[in-house]
Amino acid sequence: MTLPRLLVIMGSGETAPTMKIPHRRVFERLEADGDRAVPVMLDTPFGFQENAPILAAATTKYFSDAVSKDVAVAGLARTDTGDSAAIEAAMTRIRDANWIFAGPGSPTFALRQWQRTGLRDVLAEKLRPVADGGGGALVFSSAAALTLGCATVPVYEVYKVGMDPWWEPGLDVLADIGINAAVIPHYDNQEGGNHDTSFCYLGERRLAMLEPELPDGAFVLGLDEHTGVIMDLDADTAEIVGKGGLTLRRQGVSVRHESGTTIPLDVIRAGGDAVSTSSAVPVSAEPTIDAAEPDSQQDDSMSLGATASRLESEFASAIEAGDATKAVASVLDLDSAITEWSADTLQSDEMDQARRALRSMIVKLGNAATNGLRDEREVLGPVVAAALEARRVAREEKAYAVSDAVRDGLDAAGIEVRDTADGVDWLIRS
């Protein structure tokens, strides 16, 4: 039995519905020859946060729900505690794993903690030829993705603290597979609204300042949000998955490859320069994810904001047509989408948009019921029940902002929620 050698880099969305299918396919590759997946999550990137255990639990729950895999937590949140026994135990878990995941947090914090370990060599070992003891999958996203290249953007220090931009030395694991690049996730980020937050919150001006400071021959490997690249080191190919694209940028000149295509890995190694096609693997322009997957690709590829907009439109059409059943279905679908996307902690703006949409839809449905669409209890009962269940789950998981948003939406619709000794009750205010 031979393990594949896979390096998966994601721009974001590692715990969102968008990436469920790519995650599943990576595990299927690991287990194709009868091997058993031994998955471990590196908890270092967010190890500085007070809620690190909660974030770790939420991430492992996502993988349990999305891909039916029990992912162990490495226990390497910090290495500056002086607890050498705990550090060695964590490193043993990582060495024994054949699927290693790391995601959001602070790249510079992670790099400082990892300097005290042999993690860089352990990761690189998974990518070596099988004859040299290699094999397995590395799945790095968001902040962790930033650490893989020769240089790292110190995102927190530049964007949050306001320090002048600079490159921090990266793990440079990519060098072991012939890629001399700095990885920049969140490449197409637009959260800034009135200011440029593309290129992982750097913006064009600061990225242009930094590019000349890259090591000789290095380029930028950019990945859009909710987008990933699956590098198969045995086939020497790179498959772009998700909803955006991969960009190779060298001194301001960019070459982009869209999701749904597979390119020779040499194209990435060249960093946008021309590549000889004499020995290149054929490039596929066809989508490589099976359309027969049980999950709806259209829904999974949508952001939460796009899903909310679509369901608001469907809801409005149903109300206009007097179709209470479809209106209720739209509300329930949005509630389900909010619950599913709640694992993706980086979607705060879109989560706010979805909550506003849910509150608005509940209010309009209440008004429609009052105006004779159908009996109030008949129309609102399923919606309120689903909303209260979402509120219960949110409170259990300490997602109090979600819990409060649900209650506020019901209150605005004239529905009073009462917490009693026997459970939760509700009534429609006259």
Q: Could you report the per-residue pLDDT of 331-355, keeping only the tens digit for each?
A: 877 777 776 666 564 445 666 677 7
Predicted confidence (pLDDT) per residue in 6-21, tens digit: 999 999 999 988 899 9
List Cβ neighbours of 264 (8 Å cut-off, separation of 6 or more): 236, 237, 238, 275, 280, 281, 283
pLDDT of residue 288: 41
The DSSP code for 159 is I
pLDDT at 310 over 70: yes
CATH of domain 5-270: 3.40.50.880
The region that residue 227 occupies, defined by phi over 0 for left and psi between -120 and 50 for alpha, beta otherwise, is beta
Whether 21 contacts 295, CB under 8 Å? yes
Task: Choose the weakest-confidence range: 110-119, 145-154, 259-268, 383-392.
Answer: 383-392
- Residue of 203, 241, 270, 171 whose CA lies nearest to 11: 241
Task: Name the phi and psi angles at 259, rounded to 5.
Answer: -60, 145
What distance separates the 2 farthest-apart alpha carbons in the chain? 77
List Cβ neighbours of 420 (8 Å cut-off, separation of 6 or more): none
How far apart CA 101 and CA 416 sit, in angstroms, is 43
**Domain residue extents for the chain:** 5-270, 302-428
Whether the model clears a pTM of 0.75, i.e. scores above it, the answer is no
